[in-house]
Chains A and B, each alone.
Chain A
Amino acid sequence: MSASNLHMYVMIAPLLTAFFVNLLGRRSRAWLAPLTLGSLAFSSLASLVVLGRVVRSGGYRYTVGNWTPPFGIELVVDHLSALMLVLISLVALAATLSALKSAEQELPGREHLFFTLYLILIAGLMGLVLTADAFNLYVLLEITSITTYGLIAMGKGRAPLASFNYIIMGSIGACFYLLGVGYLYLMTGTLNMADIARILPDISGGAAVATALAFMLVGLWVKMALFPLHGWLPSAYSLAPTGAALLVAPLMTKVTIYLMVRVMFSIFSVDYLFLQNPLVQSGIVWAAAIGIVCASALALAQRNLKRMLTYIIVAEVGYMVGGVWLANSTGMTGALLHIVNDALMTLCLFLAAAAIYYRLGSLDFDRLQGIYRKMPVTMAAFTVGAFSMIGVPPTAGFFSKWYLILGGIESGHWEYVAALLFSSLVNAVLFFRIIEIGYFFKSGEHHGHELREEAPLLMQVPLLISAVALIVIGLGSGPLVDSVIRMALPGGF
């Protein structure tokens, strides 16, 4: 393998492994762990090398098989996509450690099927962040969605129904996106994003282009569950098998936010998006702000840890969409930084939830009494994740929120500032409610002492790493912003 196409191997490793997992894992489940972990560890290392190279010597474009664009497949490896690649592979690696344990418990005999889909999903996500082609993006989006439908449907109880619900909504979203791409193809005759961007300024037909943009955005918003298009997400994520939620919850919405950024700034211009239609720009920030408030309020009504977390995810989507549409560099910095931070804190909280579920078999609030005494390590990490969600410094969550709020102040979008503050307060209520139940209610009043019963080591290790990462990334957010995020800002910022 040559150094210049290392990013290809990052993506290919999990894709190829998926087939071996299916073939060998069918024989013996002993194959599962080395194969999945091996391929993801390789991807993680390789993606770090790719990011290092991009930071040192700048981004580049790559044509697969030397078929030149606009006909061949073009990949773009810049600061943003390299960062996303690192994020996806590391999060996937951490999630897999825990997922191996929970799949063993929840899906006995079907683990090889589970991990086949799981690895294809990871490869699809990596492809999504690399592609520079609007149609390939659609294809990969469907690959990730279809694998996710399958993974969710493997859950117990009403999971197939939730998955079906997601299929309907997801397909509608994909159709919208595809229609948008179709409009652009009609207007420009090409599907390569850079190509479209080059041709667009020269053609007349404002209505068609605007329609294309609107279709593509709405399609992506459905996929990322922006309020009020979020209806499918809470059930799908909370009924999915634990292992699937571990991977999907931290990554799927965040990657879709990335796609929105990519589509917006690789195809359309800053001038077209923000300056020519200030009303649209403000309107979207307003919608995001309202979405944040509503989703946070809905989270308050939940009595189950995982469902509560899913509504927080919906609120966080509003953070990032609003941040991007604030149309200033501070807000954009905040949105991109928040993609990283939110992925990590969602990972941390879902890993903790997985560990609790592994021991308790339930995540209802009234079952959580005395959980701190029973699982002190897990809950310590959970608390760090919770603080990050609330935005307590020096955890990572504080710093991206800082940029987002500052961006809101700079652009005078006080409704967005208020929504973020409101959501932080709601998060404080949500998590301290759990801390109060888990810590300060004396549990097991009949049995006296609650036995200490921690989750298996394989679940604790990634959890602790993710909790430490939240603090490290928080303290290191200065260098991270300077050397990666600032370079990743789209042209014009």
Chain B
Amino acid sequence: MDYQTSIWPLAAILISLLGAIPIMLSGRSPNLRESWTLLAALGKVAIVVALLPAVLAGGGYEFVIAEVLPGVPLALRVDAMGMFFALVASILWFFTSLYSIGYMRALKEHAQTRYFASFAVAISATIGVAFAANLLTLYLFYEMLSLSTYPLVTHEQNAEARTSGRKYLTYILGTSIGLALPAMLIVYALTGTLDFKSGGILAGSGASPQVLGLVLVLFLFGFAKSGIMPFHGWLPAAMVAPTPVSSFLHGVAVVKVGVFSILRVIFHIFGADLLLDVNLGVVITSIASITILVASLVALTQDNLKRRLAYSTIGQLSYMILGAGMLSAAGMTGGLLHIAMHAFGKITLFFCAGAIFVAAGKKYISQMDGLGRQMPITYLAFMFGSLSIIGMPPLGGFISKWNLVIGAVSSDQLLLLVVLLVSSLLNAAYFLPIVYRGFFARAADPVFDEGIREAPLFCLIPLSMTACASLALFFYPDIFLRLAQLALFP
């Protein structure tokens, strides 16, 4: 496959990174500041979409930033897999920016300038991870994302937020420095390169299955942003952040950067064939299966809506890793597709949770009885998001889960099929009661809840649009499907 040299991948990253500067400088004029955010978001979507046709045609772009280590430059490459992720992230950033404006203003949050600036840096890092051409570049942007999201988690600046921020950094930096970095160095010592290549670079390095297994486990746990158990504790803790942060970063960008990194390693560092040869897929699938089941069970017990969503995310993220670990064509496709499908569904759910908090000031599911009658649009969107995550037609989540099921069957891993089915039931069990009680249960305190209306339009429009997108993805998954195919079977 040939890649054209082009500065545009760098531009896609820099537009929001440089956008952080005018955002910081125009802190005194909120309208101007938010225009910069929206401008950068639109610009980013435009650049990413402009790069899309060449990728769909089977090509791509590259750009070398600097030659830093022998055989390992800091370099960007737009290939199908990176494009897949960048497309999801940049589109959802735009919606989140709209939503943030509504949310932050409605709640009169403090330090909004810092908030929007950190957000802009975080999305740059996310696109950087998507477009990284090798593991070192990916690691660089991965760390940049960790550091730029820390101020967002600690946003409230009270004792709870500081503790959560500490927990966040401990998990994320601890695993990336303590596990992923040595794994990367071992790969480099074995192969002399860190380039992402289809088919992997470790095949033919002569490493023993034990070493390969060790490196694989180091990577799986090292990229703890994927919320894989037992390194998932930061995600529920990070829910103290403002809801747009939870929705975009902890529903889409941060967590999926973790999954994306793991998938990159599985597909393009190890290669499916090598993992099949040494039979390491089972390591991946068993860790992922445990995470899926345990997280779904824990989600059932959470009364705080955002925490329930967080545990749901932990479970769903491992679907993607599970799919990749199946090492069958349909399984890997399903895993990759689930990145997009889950993103649109989960961001809708988080947007709804935030809208409920803005409009009604409620955080706990037990207080939300009857709320759906007062906020019908929000609750409808919530239903769409839930159904997509559960994997029901006609919503996008069905397509990825269908592929996962086929992947499990076609590779004769029937135990995984059981995991998928049980987990889907659990998903339904923890989501549908919220919708049901919202519409049909009698409100506990009708007098007090009298005046509740829908959230501001800035909140309502984005969440309706992402809900519609979830629906549309069922009927038109072609672009993502094509990108996934190109990424896995060039």
Cβ-closest chain A residue relative to B158: A442
Contact with B along A414-448 (1 / 0, CB 8 A): 00010001001100100010001001111000000
List of B residues within 8 angstroms of A70 by Cβ: none
Pick the residue among A425, A440, A441, A477 that contacts B177 (CB under 8 A): A425
Pick the residue among A387, A405, A476 that contacts B182 (CB under 8 A): A405
Structural contact, B169 and A394, CB atoms closer than 8 A? no
Structural contact, A436 and B174, CB atoms closer than 8 A? no
B173 proximal to A (CB < 8 A)? yes
Cβ-closest chain B residue relative to A393: B140
- Which listed segment binds A: B61-69, B373-381, B410-418, B468-476? B61-69
A contact patch SS = helix
Pick the residue among A391, A409, A436 that contacts B162 (CB under 8 A): A436
Contact with A along B169-194 (1 / 0, CB 8 A): 10001100110011001101100000
List of B residues within 8 angstroms of A20 by Cβ: none
Known: A417-B182, A475-B74. A432 touches B154 (CB 8 A): no
List of A residues within 8 angstroms of B157 by Cβ: 440-442
Known: A428-B177, A436-B166, A477-B68. A392 touches B182 (CB 8 A): no
Pick the residue among A392, A402, A406 that contacts B143 (CB under 8 A): A392
B165 proximal to A (CB < 8 A)? yes
A361 proximal to B (CB < 8 A)? no
In whole angstroms, how far apart are the Cα atoms of A392 and B165 in the complex? 18
Minimum Cβ distance to chain B for residue A381 (Å): 15
List of B residues within 8 angstroms of A428 by Cβ: 169, 173-174, 177
In whole angstroms, how far apart are the Cα atoms of A387 and B73 in the complex? 20
A176 proximal to B (CB < 8 A)? no
List of B residues within 8 angstroms of A474 by Cβ: 68
Interface residues of B in 130-178 (CB under 8 A from A): 136, 139-140, 143-144, 147, 150-151, 154, 157, 161-162, 165-166, 169, 173-174, 177-178
List of A residues within 8 angstroms of B73 by Cβ: 478
Structural contact, B162 and A440, CB atoms closer than 8 A? yes
In whole angstroms, how far apart are the Cα atoms of A479 and B67 in the complex? 7
In whole angstroms, how far apart are the Cα atoms of A421 and B136 in the complex? 17
Q: How many residues of A contact B (CB 8 A)?
A: 30
Structural contact, B66 and A402, CB atoms closer than 8 A? no
A453 proximal to B (CB < 8 A)? no
A382 proximal to B (CB < 8 A)? no
Structural contact, B185 and A425, CB atoms closer than 8 A? no
Known: A391-B177, A409-B186, A436-B165. A475 touches B154 (CB 8 A): no
In whole angstroms, how far apart are the Cα atoms of A186 and B382 in the complex? 87
List of B residues within 8 angstroms of A390 by Cβ: 173, 177
B contact patch SS = helix
Minimum Cβ distance to chain A for residue B157 (Å): 5
Structural contact, B68 and A406, CB atoms closer than 8 A? no
In whole angstroms, how far apart are the Cα atoms of A417 and B177 in the complex? 12
List of B residues within 8 angstroms of A417 by Cβ: 182, 185
Cβ-closest chain B residue relative to A333: B70
Cβ-closest chain B residue relative to A428: B173
A410 proximal to B (CB < 8 A)? yes
List of B residues within 8 angstroms of A440 by Cβ: 154, 157, 161-162, 165
List of A residues within 8 angstroms of B151 by Cβ: 439
List of B residues within 8 angstroms of A442 by Cβ: 157
Structural contact, B68 and A478, CB atoms closer than 8 A? yes
A311 proximal to B (CB < 8 A)? no
Structural contact, A393 and B169, CB atoms closer than 8 A? no
Structural contact, B174 and A432, CB atoms closer than 8 A? no
Q: Number of residue pairs across A and B with beta carbons under 8 Å?
A: 78
Interface residues of A in 67-96 (CB under 8 A from B): none
Structural contact, B169 and A402, CB atoms closer than 8 A? no
List of B residues within 8 angstroms of A439 by Cβ: 151
Structural contact, A406 and B189, CB atoms closer than 8 A? yes
In whole angstroms, how far apart are the Cα atoms of A399 and B144 in the complex? 16
Structural contact, A394 and B68, CB atoms closer than 8 A? yes
Minimum Cβ distance to chain B for residue A431 (Å): 10
Pick the residue among A402, A421, A477, A481 that contacts B178 (CB under 8 A): A421
Cβ-closest chain B residue relative to A474: B68
Structural contact, A393 and B185, CB atoms closer than 8 A? no
Q: How many residues of B contact A (CB 8 A)?
A: 33
In whole angstroms, how far apart are the Cα atoms of A440 and B154 in the complex? 7
Interface residues of B in 295-340 (CB under 8 A from A): none
Interface residues of A in 437-493 (CB under 8 A from B): 439-442, 474-479, 481
In whole angstroms, how far apart are the Cα atoms of A385 and B66 in the complex? 21
Pick the residue among B65, B70, B74, B185 that contacts A405 (CB under 8 A): B185
List of B residues within 8 angstroms of A393 by Cβ: 136, 139-140, 143
Interface residues of B in 64-86 (CB under 8 A from A): 65-70, 73-74
Cβ-closest chain A residue relative to B156: A440
Structural contact, A399 and B177, CB atoms closer than 8 A? no
In whole angstroms, how far apart are the Cα atoms of A252 and B151 in the complex? 36
The winner among A387, A405, A424, A477 for most chain B CB atoms within 10 A is A405
Minimum Cβ distance to chain B for residue A186 (Å): 44
Cβ-closest chain B residue relative to A405: B185
In whole angstroms, how far apart are the Cα atoms of A409 and B218 in the complex? 15
Structural contact, B169 and A432, CB atoms closer than 8 A? yes
Minimum Cβ distance to chain B for residue A25 (Å): 42
List of A residues within 8 angstroms of B189 by Cβ: 406, 409-410
List of A residues within 8 angstroms of B166 by Cβ: 432, 436
Known: A391-B177, A393-B136. A406 touches B185 (CB 8 A): yes
The winner among B69, B139, B174 for most chain A CB atoms within 10 A is B69
The winner among A393, A417, A424 for most chain B CB atoms within 10 A is A393
List of B residues within 8 angstroms of A410 by Cβ: 189
Minimum Cβ distance to chain A for residue B474 (Å): 40
Minimum Cβ distance to chain B for residue A145 (Å): 36
In whole angstroms, how far apart are the Cα atoms of A11 and B373 in the complex? 83
Pick the residue among A387, A476, A481 that contacts B66 (CB under 8 A): A476
Structural contact, B177 and A424, CB atoms closer than 8 A? yes
Known: A428-B177, A432-B169, A442-B157. A475 touches B68 (CB 8 A): yes
Cβ-closest chain B residue relative to A433: B166
Known: A436-B162, A442-B157. A406 touches B182 (CB 8 A): no
Known: A391-B177, A393-B140, A477-B68. A402 touches B165 (CB 8 A): no
List of B residues within 8 angstroms of A475 by Cβ: 65-66, 68, 74
In whole angstroms, how far apart are the Cα atoms of A477 and B147 in the complex? 23
Interface residues of A in 368-403 (CB under 8 A from B): 387, 390-394, 399, 402
Cβ-closest chain B residue relative to A421: B178
In whole angstroms, how far apart are the Cα atoms of A474 and B162 in the complex? 31
Cβ-closest chain B residue relative to A383: B147
Structural contact, A394 and B162, CB atoms closer than 8 A? no
Structural contact, A478 and B67, CB atoms closer than 8 A? yes
Minimum Cβ distance to chain A for residue B265 (Å): 17
Minimum Cβ distance to chain B for residue A398 (Å): 8
In whole angstroms, how far apart are the Cα atoms of A1 and B73 in the complex? 42
List of B residues within 8 angstroms of A478 by Cβ: 66-70, 73
Structural contact, A402 and B162, CB atoms closer than 8 A? no
Minimum Cβ distance to chain B for residue A404 (Å): 10
The winner among B66, B151, B166, B185 for most chain A CB atoms within 10 A is B185
Interface residues of B in 406-448 (CB under 8 A from A): none
In whole angstroms, how far apart are the Cα atoms of A439 and B169 in the complex? 15
A sample of 16 cross-chain residue pairs with beta-carbon separation below 8 angstroms, ordered by A number, consists of A387-B147, A390-B177, A392-B144, A393-B139, A394-B66, A394-B74, A394-B140, A402-B69, A406-B188, A409-B186, A424-B177, A428-B177, A432-B150, A440-B161, A440-B165, A475-B65
Interface residues of B (CB under 8 A from A): 65-70, 73-74, 136, 139-140, 143-144, 147, 150-151, 154, 157, 161-162, 165-166, 169, 173-174, 177-178, 181-182, 185-186, 188-189
Supply 11 further A-B pairs (C-beta < 8 A) apart from A405-B181, A410-B189, A440-B165.
A393-B140, A406-B188, A406-B189, A421-B177, A428-B174, A432-B150, A432-B169, A436-B165, A477-B69, A478-B69, A481-B70
9 nearest A-B residue pairs (beta carbon): A478-B67, A393-B140, A475-B66, A478-B68, A409-B189, A440-B157, A392-B143, A424-B177, A440-B154
